[in-house]
Amino acid sequence: MVLEGEMQKEEWFTAKVIENLRKGSHYYGDIVRRLFFIEGVVILLALPLYLHIITFPIFYIIGLAVLLILAAGTASPAQHWTSSLNLLLSMVGLVAFEWFALSVYQDSSHSDFHRTLCFWLNHFLALGFAVALYFSVKTARWQFLGKHISEE
């Protein structure tokens, strides 16, 4: 009898998961949208603070900020390519900003307040991209599983 009750619980749980997937309750694109918008604005606002530390063209940073804001504006649960774009941008942003934070931290030629600020700012931006990556993966998983469950 206990096994039968456990089986009913499993079936109930599976039915609830499928129901939630069909409802779209696992879409986290709105969180990613907010994170991307905030990160894009922070990147643009903080750019003058560490302009003398950057060793690559400024155009890349401005382009990334614009791309983040565009991705934030186009995020939609109806268009699956936007969740793939969010996933890609989250991965690239996490790696790039953490790499830059650590490279600035290791660079002994800059020992002023801007270096420390640049390190922490890029470190927190990388943290924001890590959170965006987490929610982007959850959204992509929901869209992938939801498509396959609705086909059954």
Give me the pLDDT at residue 70, please. Answer: 94
Q: Judge whether residue 148 has pLDDT over 70.
A: no
Measured between alpha carbons, how far apart are the two ends of the chain, in Å? 30
**Which pTM does this prediction carry?**
0.76
Q: How far apart are CA 62 and CA 40, in angstroms?
A: 9
CA–CA dist 26, 146 (Å, integer)? 9
pLDDT in tens, 39-75: 999 999 998 888 877 878 899 999 999 999 999 999 8
Size (the chain), residues: 152
Per-residue model confidence as pLDDT tens digits over 70-99: 999 998 877 778 888 999 999 999 999 999
